Amino acid sequence: MVKEKVKTKKTKSAASAARKKAVAKKRTLVIVESPAKAATIEKYLGASYTVKASMGHLIDLPKSRMGVNTEKDFEPEYITVRGRAKLLKDLQTEAKKATAVLLASDNDREGEAIAYHLNNAIQAKNEGLPISRIVFNEITPAAIKEAVAHPDEIDGAKVNAQKARRVLDRLVGYSLSPLLWKKVKSGLSAGRVQSCALKIICDREKEVEVFVPEEYWTLGGEFAKTKTAKKGFAAELVTYQGKKPELKKENDVKEIVEELKEAAFTCADVRETEKSLKPRPPFTTSQLQQTAANRLGFTSKKTMQIAQILYEGVNIGKGRVGLITYMRTDSVRISAQALAEAREWIGKEFPADLPEKPNVYAVGKTAQDAHEAIRPTYIKYTPESIQKYLSRDEFRLYSIIWERFVASQMKNAKTATLTADIAGGEAVFRVSGTRVVEPGFYKVLKLLAAKEEKGAAFPAVKKGDDLFALSMKGQQHFTQGPARYTDASIIKTLEEKGIGRPSTYAPTISVLLDRYYVTRKEKQLVPTILGRKINDMLVEHFPDVVNAEFTAGLEEKLDAVEGQAVAWPRMIADFYRPFKSRVDEVGKTLESYKGTLDEPTDEKCEKCGRPMVKKLGRFGYFLACTGFPECRNAKSIPLAKCPKCGGDIVARKQKGRGKEFYGCASYPECDFLTHFKPLPDQNCPKCGWFLVEKHDKHRGSYKACINPACDYLHSAEASAEGEGA
């Protein structure tokens, strides 16, 4: 009996080993881009599939040289990316164990190029091994199994479009960067899209600097039905003597208030207007980045990082699930299946708000329409139902994606606005209030809720009511200049001008920040001195490279390559030949900027007595000793004159957090300080103190005199910080 049991055990063990061996022989290797995606997909496919990650590009152009043969149809020189040889070898080894390979990199130009290079590298070591391409828009069991069931070939047109973009960007970057090193400063770089974006930001900064705010006033009144009422409702003066009032000074307000002292007021008119508000379409990449910036305060880079996590898969208790579709898209199109699921869910949860026919949104003229809009993969996973599995930021981003998509397939919302005109003497004051009549798609909006949904109170007045003015008060304002770009507004501008594509918006901003050509200030993008110097040079000598229309035209030509309407070497040649001639000419004729960047000063080094020079560093100008490297003394440049003692105002930092502020260099003898940075060479024409730039939610960025007793560009009540502040 014992022997038989042992024999049976051996037989079972042998059978199990045989089965495992058989499965191993039948195994298919799937290669994706990221480990997170690999973990999600492997669970969907089962034991007969092995899923590995390439971690992005394994083969690319070399970093140390141009890597493009400009004499032979711009043929790129591809090499294994430094530090990635072992990973590539491991994938080639895994392929040897497989009966087939499925390349499942992202369904875009970069993903197609990754698949193309992997195919060539694996074939070189495994000749004859079947290798196919699979694509999907969402990481769900159904989508993955459908893709595996219908493998295809690598899209050569997409590969060529990526190759053309890569070569074009390499030619521009590796031609201009050495020129910048030679003429401006070592370690600099320039790029095709980033240089165009930098110009847009610099142009706006010039508009901000030259703008001079103008003072104006508004007049508000508090009205009630009785003279003794403790509280009334507010209304604003809209017409005086039959026209819109021009209140430029406080005296203009006082004159009207004086005229209206004995005036009798009545409700002259009450009217109601209804408005139908359509839901917005599902998110494209740029719209997601803009909305996340405006509503959640996310940078574009942070938005894409979190979206990547949601796309690749999150463990929600039942296993890893890809929660959203592919997050790089310029289309608002959605699949028939997703549309059916959305309508089914709305029909159950909000049946009265399900339109008879699906809402259809037009795809933009410049959209490639390669992918669906960004949407949740499963409507049933409402944000609240999976909140405990998500981080705070993941939950918030997923919420706005889910809300936007579901709302897009619901009925319009309707609002009613009541407006009352209060007439007295030669003046008309106006008050308005809005209420929601039919919520429609508002019912699913929480993080995306609009002001209209919340409504505004309307006073209980009707036409013909006699009213009394409890008080009248003027309010000082200043006209606002053009706003600096934020992540949201620069992405919107780049998209509108046709510069870059969904995959390039966030990286473009990141590059400008990383190279310190631009900094963030109150969420606004501000060009640095270094960025402006580079922009000035490029604008003067390479206007085409930074021209928005020209850059957008190149994007269209790249699209034409993918559409097989033009051969990519010809497209590159048309651009490169004149560009290269210009680079060579500028390299010979342009005087070096280097001599102009280091400016002599009258300052003496307090350590060694030698002269100090004004140098441009990565973080702006500073004073450095000419005795470098023997003497390494360096210090901040004075930004303004101290209004308290006449000394120099310099940038200083607090201990601990290291927050920057601006104070007198004579501290502790002089304790003047402010948290607002002095504007260069801008003093108040009224009192002579320096001007600063301030920022608040209501006014945005604006200029103000630092003197709390001076009313130049700000009211006395909202004075800037001054002495000892």
CATH number at residue 36: 3.40.50.140
Same domain, 398 and 423: no
Determine, yes or no, domain membership for 17. Answer: no
Summarize the confidence of residues 75-90 as an average pLDDT: 93
Summarize the confidence of residues 678-696 as an average pLDDT: 80
Same domain, 175 and 132: no
* CA-based nearest residue to 620, from 602, 642, 640, 636: 636
Q: What is the four-CA torsion angle of 578, 580, 584, 585, rounded to 10 degrees? A: 20
pLDDT 10s digits, 250-301: 999 999 999 999 899 999 999 999 999 999 999 999 999 999 999 999 999 9
Determine, yes or no, domain membership for 326. Answer: yes
pLDDT 10s digits, 146-196: 999 999 999 999 999 999 999 999 999 999 988 888 877 777 788 889 999
CATH of the domain at 256: 2.70.20.10
Same domain, 330 and 240: no
| 3-class DSSP state of 108 | coil
Summarize the confidence of residues 513-542 as an average pLDDT: 89
Summarize the confidence of residues 530-554 as an average pLDDT: 89
DSSP letter at 598?
Answer: S
| Strand partners for 652 | 661
Determine, yes or no, domain membership for 516. Answer: yes
Same domain, 290 and 260: no
Determine, yes or no, domain membership for 16. Answer: no
Lookup: tokens for 425: 């003497």
Average pLDDT, the chain: 87
Determine, yes or no, domain membership for 221. Answer: yes
> Does the structure show a pLDDT above 80 at 21?
no
When divided into structural domains, the chain yields a total of 5
Same domain, 568 and 496: yes
Active-site residues, by number, are 326
pLDDT 10s digits, 219-251: 999 999 998 888 999 999 999 999 999 999 999
CATH of the domain at 177: 1.10.460.10
The predicted structure's pLDDT at residue 713: 65
Q: What is the four-CA torsion angle of 198, 200, 205, 208, rounded to 10 degrees? A: -170
Output 696 or 549, whichever has higher pLDDT.
Answer: 549
Output 669 or 472, whichever has higher pLDDT.
Answer: 472
Same domain, 374 and 441: no
Determine, yes or no, domain membership for 452. Answer: yes
Last residue of a domain, which of 526, 557, 589? 589
Same domain, 626 and 712: yes
| 3-class DSSP state of 355 | coil
> Does the structure show a pLDDT above 50 at 598?
yes
**Rounded CA gap, 37 and 35, in Å?**
5
CATH of the domain at 377: 1.10.290.10
Determine, yes or no, domain membership for 146. Answer: yes
The predicted structure's pLDDT at residue 24: 47
Which segments of 384-426 are extended strands (E)?
413-424
**Rounded CA gap, 222 and 458, in Å?**
14
Same domain, 512 and 552: yes
Last residue of a domain, which of 589, 621, 642? 589
The predicted structure's pLDDT at residue 602: 82
Determine, yes or no, domain membership for 470. Answer: yes
Summarize the confidence of residues 319-324 as an average pLDDT: 91
Q: Give the domain range for residue 250.
A: 215-274+414-478
The predicted structure's pLDDT at residue 200: 96
**Rounded CA gap, 362 and 373, in Å?**
12
Last residue of a domain, which of 107, 124, 154? 154
| 3-class DSSP state of 538 | helix
pLDDT 10s digits, 665-674: 888 888 888 8
Same domain, 140 and 188: no
Same domain, 73 and 28: yes
**Rounded CA gap, 400 and 306, in Å?**
13
The predicted structure's pLDDT at residue 5: 36
Same domain, 506 and 579: yes
The Cα-based distances of 582 to 174, 188, 418, 544 in angstroms read 14, 19, 63, 11
Same domain, 536 and 387: no
Q: pTM for the complete prediction?
A: 0.79
